[in-house]
Structure 1
């Protein structure tokens, strides 16, 4: 499939060119067969070593979708692989249980092109058939970093992976999602590196992503453990050592899942240390503003 392939039932839109939707998934075949046709742009599906026949099922049912079938689960690195394959100016990320609202891919592209230093646009997220606003969105809208005149919305130092459109050049130059953090919590290290390189991230409430959480969700305690694993590894890679120590102490005090996450980070600490590069003072100052405002 080339980057100009359109989905059946969608109308070509000259304002929506230059974007590919990259979806990463693992063992969510039925979810994908329902959500992939909703995307109003060419789609690259990166399958993280599924064992439920996902790749073959998507190829058979949706031949217009480009399927990259990996032999193992590489976590969020799959999105980086998909972005590298896309070959378009922008990449919109989606999960197997999310999709961009009709017309909003084109709207997001227009916003990105109007703001050339914007590396990541974070859309608002509506959850479930009842379309509840994701509780993270009000926090993003009230970012202590404010809304500078050159941005289309509040400036951020993080984002929601399944609700982001990225400028492909900036995303790949910053390393995309790395093989150390993997998933979840993969956004933080990338956001820090984009800011260090002079790029911006903004929340744009006028653009919407729908998220209907899959019935095959992981145990919340396991997710908390995974988030704290990522939090510690990101701190080791980018933050001053006192911040790393505070992360460890906070995790130890938080509860059993958080402590389990810290333990799970230990095997990856050598890789994190090899990639250690402290963020500049300006980015650290923004982090402090966010901590003070939370």
Structure 2
């Protein structure tokens, strides 16, 4: 594994040490939102202030709180896609179809990119043509505290090629990642069936199968102030279901059985978990039809992650 790059001394510096405030046309931002009008408006205000001045596509997933109308009124510079229904993560696929830039950063309505981070991600993607995803470091607000997942990303057990500019990853975090648009679209983007919640793992596996690499760069920084407008039980239900579906869709049988055991052993024994398992079992006919076990070179990545997934406090399905 290659060494982690040393972060620059400033938010985004030119060779002469002065901040780089030029617009960067290489990268756009896609944000999905649902019934979080004030948070979406604040997120857009922060995106507007970035030195990269990215084109922003915001997908309102059928909000009933006037989000779309408020975005039109207060942020006419942003491109709005007002979906009549909640598309979940697939809203990102819809936004991606409107873009022709090489790189796209995802942004949730309760996250924001640090100035200069989009430029650094684009530089890394420019420098490494087989790099498909850059996942940044997450700072939790208020207080800019290190997210507990950062240590796991930095010390990822996945073995990648020597040319990678940082630790290789098996999966990624959508709200903290910049993707190569052509790679994303070539593998079909996010699954409509998974909808939202742990939707990244299946996409990451398909990217790796297609020959793309995923990397963590700690000098690419995103801030996260978790919204209070959410249903944590529903998120856990979908996350558990999607983890089981991914496991059954892509892992070889012994690994699928082992991972299923570990996921269920680490989940609370309650009604939410029972409903998640029931949802997953109801999808078995679809899983059987769509099952494509990973090639061995990609399966090794997910095998390497099993121990950290089993012991991780950051990845536990609780609510």
TM-score by length of 1: 0.90
Listed as ranges, the matches of 1:22-41 within 5 Å are 22-39=30-47, 40=50, 41=54
Q: Does 1:260 align with 2:275?
A: yes
Picking from 78, 93, 98, the partner of 1:80 is 93
Q: What is residue 270 of structure 1 aligned with on the other side?
A: 285
Counterpart CA distance in 1 for 2:242 and 2:61 is 19
Equivalent position of 1:157 in the other structure: 170
Larger CA deviation: 269-278 vs 17-26: 269-278
- SS of the equivalent of 1:94 reads strand
Q: Distance in 1 between matches of 2:105 and 2:154?
A: 20
Q: State whether residues 198 and 239 of structure 2, in contact with CA within 8 Å, keep that contact through their aligned partners in structure 1.
A: yes
What residue is the counterpart of 1:223 in the other structure?
235
Matched with 1:282 is 297
1:50 aligns with 2:59: no
Once superposed, what is the RMSD of the aligned Cα atoms? 1.8
CA distance in 1 between counterparts of 2:155 and 2:84 reads 41
Which SS does the other structure have where 1:172 is aligned?
helix
Q: State whether structure 2 residue 245 is matched by structure 1 residue 233.
A: yes
Count the aligned residue pairs. 282
Q: Distance in 2 between matches of 1:127 and 1:284?
A: 32
Confirm or deny: 8 A CA contact 1:251 1:259 kept in the other structure.
Answer: no
Q: Is the 8 A contact 1:239 1:279 kept in 2?
A: yes
Structure 2 CA distance, aligned partners of 1:251 and 1:161?
21
Q: After superposition, what is the alpha-carbon deviation per residue over 1:136-176, rounded to whole angstroms, capped at 9, x for unaligned? A: 11101001125643111000011111000000000111111
Unpaired stretches in structure 2, ≥5 consecutive residues:
1-19, 310-319
- The answer as to whether partners of 2:165 and 2:215 remain within 8 angstroms in 1 is yes
Cα distance 1:189–1:147, how it changes in 2: closer, same or farther (>3 A)? closer
* CA apart distance, 1:248: 4.2
Task: Assess if the C-alpha contact under 8 Å between 2:259 and 2:306 holds in 1.
Answer: no
Write the distance in 2 (CA, Å) between the matches of 1:54 and 1:105.
26
2:194 partner SS: coil
Shift of 1:114: 0.9
1:44-71, CA deviations, whole angstroms, 9 ceiling, x for partnerless residues? 0111111111111101110011111112
- Which stretch of the first structure deviates more once superposed, 191-200 or 239-248? 239-248
2:104/2:179 contact within 8 Å kept: yes
The answer to whether the 8 Å contact 2:140/2:146 transfers is yes
Q: Which position in structure 2 is the counterpart of 1:89? A: 102
Q: Aligned partners of 1:95 and 1:265: how far apart in 2?
A: 26
Q: Which secondary structure does the structure 1 equivalent of 2:69 belong to? A: helix
User: Aligned with 1:47: secondary structure?
Assistant: strand
Give the Cα–Cα distance (whole angstroms) in 2 for the partners of residues 20 and 34 of structure 1. Answer: 18
Match for residue 111 of structure 1? 124
Question: Does the alignment pair 1:167 with 2:180?
Answer: yes
Deviates more, 1:183-192 or 1:266-275: 266-275
**1:217 Cα offset (Å):** 2.9
TM-score (norm 2): 0.83
Deviations, residues 88-130 of structure 1 (Å, cap 9, x unaligned): 1110000001111012111211111011111000010111020
